[in-house]
Amino acid sequence: MTATLEAVDHVAIAVRDLRAAEEWYRRAFGAEVVHRERVEEQGVDEALLRVGESYVQLLTPTRPDSPVGKFLAKKGEGIHHVAYRVKDVAAALARLEAEGVELIDAAPRRGSRGTTIAFVHPRGALGTLIELVQEGPHHG
Ligand code: CMX
Ligand code: CO
């Protein structure tokens, strides 16, 4: 069976104060922000810190009823999701669907940094919210 996952793209951490979190990573590890973006569809402001070939994605909500807003209210700050890099999000989703895995996104959508993404529900994924990330923009 061929492996779908190529790398850990990012580990995402929900935080209340993005600038304070960036500063914490800078002081603790010398980690620098390489990208900042607001993703309105997801209701988040994000900061990406490069860690080798991967990123740490610091996330803070732009509105309380967003996924990260609800997560912070319920669980507080902490790891929100793990994102795996794949060659082809649509193909990975088709495989998951064939395996009967519960998806959040039935089809690929636009992610930050000009990527194409999809989320897998934590309920059917060992309690972990999983994001699949494909380099390159989503068309369609
Ligand atoms: N990790 C693990 N479990 C989670 C979770 C998370 N991040 N968020 C919610 N859950 C669990 C809850 O604990 C709850 O479990 P129980 O049923 O056992 O109590 C269940 O999922 C439902 O939780 P909820 O608080 O009612 O939340 P919703 O169902 O409204 O939303 C989810 C949960 C995962 C469907 C929603 O957060 C989502 O659609 N996420 C995908 C999009 C996203 O996270 N966007 C922000 C990041 C954007 C980016 O990375 O670019
Ligand atoms: Co992410």
DSSP class of residue 124 equals G
Residue 119: φ, ψ to 5°: -110, 145
Rounded CA Rg of the chain: 15
Residue pLDDT, tens place only, 66-80? 999 999 999 999 999
Residue pLDDT, tens place only, 12-50? 999 999 999 999 999 999 999 999 999 999 999 999 999
Give residue 2's pLDDT: 80
Pocket test for ligand 1, best of 117, 129, 130 (most atoms within 8 A of CB): 129
Q: Output the CA 48–ligand 2 centroid distance in Å.
A: 10
Ligand 1, closest atom to CA 70?
Answer: 25
> Which tokens belong to 106?
């039935």
Scanning the structure block, which residue is given the tokens 């996952």?
5
Q: Output the CA 133–ligand 2 centroid distance in Å.
A: 8
Write out residues with Cβ below 6 Å of ligand 1. Answer: 12, 39, 42, 44, 59, 67-68, 70-71, 74, 80-81, 104, 111-112, 119, 121-122, 127, 129, 131
Closest ligand (CA of 122)? 1
Report, as an integer, the average pLDDT of 93-100: 97
d(CA 121, CA 67): 12
Residue pLDDT, tens place only, 109-123? 999 999 999 999 999
Q: Output the CA 29–ligand 2 centroid distance in Å.
A: 21
Residue in 13, 28, 111, 9 with CA at minimum distance from that of residue 58: 13
